[in-house]
Structure 1
Amino acid sequence: MSAVFDARSDLAVPAPARPHGQGRADAAPEVISVTDLTVADPNGRPVLDGLNLTVRAGERVGVVGESGSGKTTLALALLGALRPGLRTAGGGVRVAGEDPLALRGRDLRRLRRHTVAYLPQDPAAALTPTMRVGALVSELAVRRTPEDAARTLRSVGLPDGRDFLRRFPHELSGGQQQRLALGRVLAAGPAALVLDEPTTGLDVLTQRLVLDEVARLAAERNLTLLFITHDLPAAARLTDRLAVLKAGRVVEEGPVDAVLGRPRAAYTRELVHAVPDIGEAAARPAAPAGGAADTAPVLRVSGLRAGHGRGRARVTTAQDVSFRIEPGECVALLGGSGTGKTTLARCVTGHHSPDGGLIELAGSAVPGPLRGRTLDQRRLVQLVAQDANGSLNPRRTVGAAIARPLRVLRGLGGEAAAAETERLLRLVGLDPQWAGRLPRTLSGGQRQRVAIARALAAQPRLLLCDEVTSSLDVRIQAEILALLDGLRSRLGLGLLLISHDLGVIARMADRVLVLDGGTVREQGPVAEVFAAPRHPWTRAVLDAVPSVRGELAGRAERTPAADESRPRETAVDGV
């Protein structure tokens, strides 16, 4: 479904969209053609292995697969931008009749601007932080008048007023940044758009708005879309056809309804089965009413107030927030962008000073600022961040990353630290021999396991998990969630889970706090809140939760006739 945007906000009113599949015809010209493409790393190992894929004008094709399957390498090959060390070992690529891997200089810049555009996962990486919105929109545009810039902003549902044109990227919400990046690349009038995980990290309402905006613009401009994603419900919402990649090869390809609704390859079935479902909340055993009488909560927050800025510019981001977490319990924070989740989490870790209220860790009150806390108090709560790659020093080995908190927070060194590092690696499911490896040699899931091991090195009572699986594919996501679930049961850890993915919350959390405007609007057991939400925002989010089954049902309603064609399965060992 498409959306008509209110330029004053991120809200949208549903509007009719063209049914999926309309306008597609085999006679349409090929815009993207990948033929027997093999890309190898410096050791000769194929990253892409004889890959074939054709995308015709106006078609929307999704490419899904787990980390390391070759999705991003394929996207970069279409832009003539293979990562350093990779080389073409066979086959080729054509985009609108040109070979991007053979172009250089001005010709390559022309291709990337006017033929194939790229929308990355992190919009901030595509937006120069020192340029204002108006300049960013005009930079790639064919026509650069203020009126054209305003028209471009309106086309992606953003305000076009002078105040908005003068803002910097950091002054926009995540959804606004992504739509600005979209409008910026489309202003050059490309024939094709490659989207690389563009909705990762966005809450479900914003995610739906961005996907529907892309669909509307693609229909209006007859854009060819290649959607790289690990999010199967998002692929079902946006694409007509799906290619499933494993180890650089297409293992299944066909209409999205058939591939996701009736998958033939075992690997595809595993991916579909691994998608979290909010229905899991009802199946979770009830959380304990509280710890033992002589056991204090691992975290108690009472009347917390916090904000940003000074004087009249002061903005309150947390107002009278109170909750607790018992040993072995998982409590989730749910809310949209700017609702206070991050501020609240930073107050708990000591990285943001609250304006008032009380924070207790393991039964003892702790100072707000981290610098005022003792080493023992710092040990009690540890953070596992969303971007494990960014949180690990690329020049430090896995062993060195884990050894640092052992030395600083526990005073361990030498053989004692080495033995504890080995134990922690085994605890998170990694071979101790990996202690000598650098982060760049690990997959996303492996790096997240290292980040968890490093957090556990401090022997915390509480782990703060900030979107820890949002950038992982569904199979690896399920493994990391199972690891965290096992650790809290085994070690009695409390978990404070920040996530925009309601399926993850349903799978992991015992209780949920719904934040809106810095205030807790409702809280309670996950199954109860999800089954009977009281606050309008909670109801809206639950109504917008994507699922493979729901998106396929929605497609059936939007499509005049069901496509009974079967997906094509490619023979690959082990799938």
Structure 2
Amino acid sequence: MLKVSDLTVSFSGNPVVSGICFSLMPGEILGFVGESGSGKSVTSLALMGLLPPNAKVEGGSASFSTEKGQVDLLKVDSKTHRQIRGQGIAMIFQEPQTSLNPSMICGKQISEAVELHTNLRGAKAKERCIQLLAEMQLTDPAKVYSSYPHQLSGGQKQRVMIAMALAGNPRILIADEPTTALDVTVQKSILQLLKDIRQRHQIGIIFITHDLSVVAEVADRIMVMQQGQIVEQGTVTEIFNNPTHPYTRRLIEFRKRINQPITETAGVTNEPEHIFRVNSISVEYGSNSWFKRGFKAISDVSFTLFKGETLGLVGESGSGKSTIGRTLLKLIETQSGTIEYNGEPLSSLKGSNLLNFRREVQFIFQDPYSSLNPRLTIGQALMEPFIYHGLGGKREARKAVEELLQMVSLPADSINRYPHEFSGGQRQRIVIARALVLKPKILVCDEVLSALDVSTQAQMLDLLQELKKGMGLTYLFISHDLSVVRSICSRVIVLNRGSIEEQGPAEEIFSRPQSVYTQLLIDAIPGKSL
């Protein structure tokens, strides 16, 4: 279906991918694997004719089989490329939330693709849209058709994107990180859906991911990329059982290390000291009076966070994990129940006591890019809380920031640079440094590793463990990635629809789950055989 030879692409004269060679067969799923910046997405964008203005194809060929014969995707004009896109090759982009128009119902967006690539119009086009949504195994296709993107879950939005990509009956589907940031059960269903589509339509799929566990679950062959070049390719069995390149071996070792359970007791003694005691709390959204019932995000949740431990909160999207994290910081008020911090009711904290609490308990948000002010340098962003809390003047603040940047392994010149000048892993280190600038006692980590590649995840886990030992920190670690939770947490709480399904020592939860729901989550972990 597709044969790529010696593809070379440069950005502003600097080569970013070079000498890329691979082929794709009908009904095959080819996995592109590599760290962020390895050239996976650039390769696919070159094939789609969607490279940015500062990018240039320096050489190579990409022979694509069409009904009219062979076409070189790297040499056709923009009009031909537009005809090929959607009908010949379609792409599922990484983030459906930003790829879908928020002001247009999903059905209309799919209908545009259907009308563009077929002769269907009006009622027949709508019928085709609903048929596509039904094929995506959505329980109520007509409702999804009439829904806006914000009314759908992450998994539903991803299925809408796949339906849109299939509207033109393409021969090749490029899936760029289609399961990033999805919880394990939704991820498993999306992977199965792609395999079913491959089988049903005999289309070729290029599956781009940084997650080795996912690619092992879905791909027939794997192409490993590093710094814009292919360092190794072969079948899944060959790559995972007998990797020949040091980089591939390193990626596999990182994933195995993340899959290993924690070996230490996370600092909990025989008589652990409790920091937070949560008693039967409930949180409801959208309720402004007793006339109007809202949505219950968490219901009757009770647990204790002990000093020096890493407590994991796991569950599917919408299970209430982030809501619990925010209630501990008084960012969300509870409708019932109580929270105690060091034996004092959280609701009674006011004035200087509340300010001290804000210093001692810090929140690390999921997306570091959106939680950093793009107009502030990293130095300004990190010095701001130090000065606000009266810990010293500008000179002391700068010295503290320089020490923190060194602690999280960032170069000294980072202090004068802006957020957009850093990689995803570096930005995550920056927001960790910002949380540490006030020398807190507790960090609430909300999905801090969800969008990072496997080697960066391993580095961040090592960093969190080192900081914990060096600073005596306590973590509440929120994640949908059960492999990561198992590798860092001493205890785990499993949430399901706002209620605690079960809780206990991590190894007991993972090796002997008592709940059917927990067992389903564990069974959905991809690549468990790695």
Q: TM-score, normalised by structure 1?
A: 0.84
Q: Is the 8 A contact 2:17 2:39 kept in 1?
A: yes
> How big is the shift at 1:290?
5.1
Q: Is the 8 A contact 2:268 2:309 kept in 1?
A: no
Q: Which amino acid aligns with 2:94?
A: Q
Across the aligned residues of Structure 1 and Structure 2, the Cα RMSD in angstroms comes to: 2.4
Task: Determine which of 284, 293, 304 is the counterpart of 2:281.
Answer: 304
> How big is the shift at 1:548?
5.6
Tell me what 1:128 maps to. Answer: 101
Q: Is the 8 A contact 2:267 2:308 kept in 1?
A: no
Task: Determine which of 446, 450, 456 is the counterpart of 2:426.
Answer: 446
Q: Which amino acid aligns with 1:284?
A: T
Task: Determine which of 38, 42, 47 is the counterpart of 2:8.
Answer: 38
Q: Is the 8 A contact 1:35 1:91 kept in 2?
A: yes
Distance 1:289 1:416, change over 3 A: closer
Q: Which amino acid aligns with 2:108?
A: A
* SS class of match (1:394): coil
CA distance in 1 between counterparts of 2:144 and 2:425 reads: 39
Q: Which amino acid aligns with 1:140?
A: A
Distance 1:303 1:371, change over 3 A: farther
> How big is the shift at 1:500?
1.2
Tell me what 2:145 maps to. Answer: 165
Tell me what 1:111 maps to. Answer: 84
> Is 1:516 aligned to residue 503 of structure 2?
no
Output aligned runs, 1:373-452, within 5 Å: 374-452=354-432
Tell me what 1:82 maps to. Answer: 51
> How big is the shift at 1:279?
6.1
More divergent stretch after superposition (258-267 vs 389-398)? 389-398
More divergent stretch after superposition (204-213 vs 47-56)? 47-56
> How big is the shift at 1:250?
0.5
Distance 1:315 1:370, change over 3 A: farther
Q: Which amino acid aligns with 2:374?
A: P
> Is 1:475 aligned to residue 452 of structure 2?
no
Distance 1:307 1:95, change over 3 A: farther
Q: Is the 8 A contact 1:362 1:461 kept in 2?
A: no
Q: Is the 8 A contact 1:278 1:502 kept in 2?
A: no
Task: Determine which of 20, 25, 49 is the counterpart of 1:51.
Answer: 20
* SS class of match (1:213): helix
**What whole-Å deviation, never above 9, does each CA across 1:223-271 have from its counterpart, x for those lacking one?**
1111110111211221111110011110001112101221111111111
> How big is the shift at 1:363?
4.2
* SS class of match (1:53): strand
Q: Which amino acid aligns with 2:283?
A: A
**What whole-Å deviation, never above 9, does each CA across 1:265-313 have from its counterpart, x for those lacking one?**
11111111111568632x52335555877xx533332221102112544
Q: Which amino acid aligns with 2:19?
A: G
Seq. identity, %: 37
CA distance in 2 between counterparts of 1:135 and 1:159 reads: 19
Q: Is the 8 A contact 2:93 2:175 kept in 1?
A: yes
CA distance in 2 between counterparts of 1:40 and 1:537 reads: 48
Task: Determine which of 128, 134, 140 is the counterpart of 2:113.
Answer: 140
* SS class of match (1:391): coil
Count of matched residue positions in the alignment of Structure 1 and Structure 2: 516
**What whole-Å deviation, never above 9, does each CA across 1:382-438 have from its counterpart, x for those lacking one?**
222222222222332221221222222345332111101101101111122221222
> Is 1:541 aligned to residue 514 of structure 2?
no
**What whole-Å deviation, never above 9, does each CA across 1:434-490 have from its counterpart, x for those lacking one?**
212222222221111111101111222211111111211111110001100111111
User: What runs of 5+ residues in structure 2 fail to find an aligned partner?
Assistant: none
CA distance in 1 between counterparts of 2:284 and 2:81 reads: 46
Tell me what 2:41 maps to. Answer: 72
> Is 1:339 aligned to residue 312 of structure 2?
no
* SS class of match (1:388): coil
**What whole-Å deviation, never above 9, does each CA across 1:138-189 have from its counterpart, x for those lacking one?**
2211335332122111111013454343222222222111111111211121
More divergent stretch after superposition (343-352 vs 443-452)? 343-352
Q: Which amino acid aligns with 1:435?
A: I
* SS class of match (1:275): helix
Distance 1:549 1:370, change over 3 A: farther
Output aligned runs, 1:188-337, within 5 Å: 188-276=168-256, 280-281=260-261, 284-289=263-268, 297-310=274-287, 311-337=291-317
CA distance in 2 between counterparts of 1:430 and 1:365 reads: 39
CA distance in 2 between counterparts of 1:276 and 1:463 reads: 26
Q: Is the 8 A contact 1:428 1:453 kept in 2?
A: yes
* SS class of match (1:521): strand
Q: Is the 8 A contact 2:268 2:306 kept in 1?
A: no
Tell me what 1:24 maps to. Answer: none
CA distance in 2 between counterparts of 1:298 and 1:428 reads: 26
CA distance in 1 between counterparts of 2:61 and 2:277 reads: 59
* SS class of match (2:86): helix
> How big is the shift at 1:198?
0.7
CA distance in 2 between counterparts of 1:225 and 1:363 reads: 56
> Is 1:497 aligned to residue 477 of structure 2?
yes
* SS class of match (1:352): coil
Q: Which amino acid aligns with 1:508?
A: I
Q: Which amino acid aligns with 2:237?
A: D
Q: Is the 8 A contact 1:152 1:187 kept in 2?
A: yes
CA distance in 1 between counterparts of 2:366 and 2:234 reads: 33
Q: Which amino acid aligns with 1:118?
A: M
CA distance in 1 between counterparts of 2:277 and 2:443 reads: 14
* SS class of match (1:378): helix
Tell me what 2:437 maps to. Answer: 457
CA distance in 1 between counterparts of 2:40 and 2:103 reads: 31
Q: Is the 8 A contact 1:151 1:160 kept in 2?
A: no
Distance 1:432 1:297, change over 3 A: farther
More divergent stretch after superposition (423-432 vs 393-402)? 393-402
CA distance in 2 between counterparts of 1:56 and 1:374 reads: 62
* SS class of match (1:395): coil
Q: Which amino acid aligns with 1:245?
A: M
CA distance in 1 between counterparts of 2:62 and 2:349 reads: 54
More divergent stretch after superposition (343-352 vs 419-428)? 343-352
Q: TM-score, normalised by structure 2?
A: 0.91
More divergent stretch after superposition (169-178 vs 371-380)? 371-380
**What whole-Å deviation, never above 9, does each CA across 1:75-118 have from its counterpart, x for those lacking one?**
22122222353333333444444455555655443332222211
Tell me what 2:166 maps to. Answer: 186
